[in-house]
Amino acid sequence: MAKRVLKHAILGLLRKQDMSGYDITAEFTKEISQFWSAKHSQIYTELKKLLDEKLIEQYIEISGVKLERKMYKLTEEGKKELAQWLMHPEQIPETEKDTFALKVYFIQYIPEEKILPLFQDQLDQREQKLSELKSRYQLIFAQREEKMGLAADELGHYLVLTKAISREESYVDWLKKSIRFIRQKR
């Protein structure tokens, strides 16, 4: 049975504050994108289900003279649902999807002259992503962590960002070792 993780991601965002569908979608392109993704259409489909399940409520917010935004807020039942999910131990997934690793598994079918460029391209992309993550860390946490510590509401973001940095560092290290190994085999 699928767990509807998106359901709980949306409930978690709405636990922080009321949001419009646009706001929720924007959150998935910011920090959450380091560990979870959802498309605009998936989010709005899930919002409809959450309304039907009475885990969230909808209201209209007037901004300016005419601008109306549909806003969503968590109900008490939604808070209970989120709390239950947060406290439930998580099983390690069978596999993490990694398209590049799948291609590497079938490396014998890649022409030899294309293998190193494929690895180099992946290394370049991963190093770029690592650089972006480290810049984000410097911007958000470096000075606060040194001087005054983290606020309680920053802990989750800090832990997830440092996990993403570790993941990319490990991937970059593996790619560099693999490139050296491939060159030695030639």
- CA distance from start to end of the chain: 47
Q: pLDDT digits over 101-129, tens only? A: 989 999 999 999 999 999 999 999 999 99
Quick one: CA dihedral 137, 139, 142, 146, positive or negative? negative
Start-end of H helices in the chain = 5-16, 21-29, 40-52, 76-87, 99-105, 112-137, 143-147, 155-185
pLDDT digits (tens, 9 = 90+) for 139-184: 888 776 666 677 777 888 889 999 999 999 999 999 999 999 999 9
pTM: 0.74
